[in-house]
Amino acid sequence: MARILLTHSPEALENYYGARALAALQALGEVRTNPSSQPLAGSALIEAARDCELIVSYRQSPGEAAIFEALPALVAFLRCAIDIRNVDVAAASKAGVLVTQASAGFVAAVAELVFGMMIDLARGVTRAAGSYHAGELPDAQTGRQLDGSTLGVIGYGAIGQRVAELGRTFGMRVLVTDPYAKAEAVGIEQVAFERLLAQADFVVPLAVATAQTENLMNESALARMKRGAFLVNVSRGNLVDEPALERALDSGHLAGAAIDVGRDADQTPTPRVALRRNVIATPHIGGLTMPSIEHQSIETVAQAAEILKGRAPKGAVNADHWTRKALLKP
């Protein structure tokens, strides 16, 4: 029977994997779980995975080179997320270990959060609720409506396409910028980055976090935004220069911002930024819905089943270097 380590802490197991996926994984072999509230990493991860053929990894458990070197029985490292930036794929390939990643199951959930945040910013929902909760009577202030406003989407991947589509449904003018993708949907305008910044009432950066997009929304980009516009970031904290954002908010150039991500632990918003009254913040909950969670966790179960049959599954990133499949028993 295969031995499988699931690195999720008890809280992560409940919130980011789910009982149904766990039961399905247990049907494939002996599943070891992480009893600690802390993420498994380094020597603790190596010790927990002794003699395991598979590691199913939460995003906070790095796939470091030492893991692949120290675990000769390890056949595959499955990441229950798209983001594999903290997995040393080159080291895994050198050791003959297969690495997999999950596909996006959170598109609808993240896109919905974008519009919840936009409406909140535009109508002062959090501001008014906060006053009531503090025992105060909030002033009734004129808000903005999405219908007729301009939405700027930076990055036209799966989430960007869904956000653009919903923007059109709300009656918004939708601008998109992406040097690698062409927006062909009816009613979507593809424009240069600078033009989008200058014309959008709501700017939503959804670009992939890379070295090239680090601090994409920097001092210069924020200054180019329309005065009184809003910034909504649900992608990665790496995309926004936080001190520059704070200065843009302090000056009144931006009317507000909404963030589900930042540069604190596990991509959560930086508390200093989240504390501001002109910022709405949530703790990286964009994909935290059961359909989103189960999409990726059930996918890792399907990947594990294929791997145990000696087949590289959909989501494998280094199948050409997978030599340890020879360790699998027929």
- Domain 2-104+290-327: CATH superfamily is NAD(P)-binding Rossmann-like Domain (3.40.50.720)
Rounded-to-integer distance, Cα 5 and Cα 262, Å:
29
- The model's pLDDT over 228-246, given as tens digits with 9 standing for 90+, comes to 999 999 999 999 999 999 9
- The model's pLDDT over 1-29, given as tens digits with 9 standing for 90+, comes to 899 999 999 999 988 899 999 999 999 99
The ranges of the chain annotated as CATH 3.40.50.720 are 2-104+290-327, 107-281
CB atoms within 10 A of CB 320: 8
Spatial contact of 282 and 109, defined as CB atoms under 8 Å apart: no
Say which CATH topology domain 107-281 has: Rossmann fold (3.40.50)
Spatial contact of 107 and 295, defined as CB atoms under 8 Å apart: no
Tell me the whole-structure pTM to 2 decimals. Answer: 0.83
Phi, psi of 176 (to 5 degrees): -130, 140
Predicted local confidence at residue 213, as pLDDT: 93
- The model's pLDDT over 276-315, given as tens digits with 9 standing for 90+, comes to 999 999 999 999 899 998 999 999 999 999 999 999 999 9
108 contact partners, CB below 8 Å, separation of at least 6: 162, 291, 292
- The model's pLDDT over 165-199, given as tens digits with 9 standing for 90+, comes to 999 999 999 999 999 999 989 999 999 999 999 99
Name the helix (H) or strand (E) containing 202. strand 202-205
Predicted local confidence at residue 107, as pLDDT: 95
Rounded-to-integer distance, Cα 53 and Cα 72, Å:
9
Predicted local confidence at residue 1, as pLDDT: 87
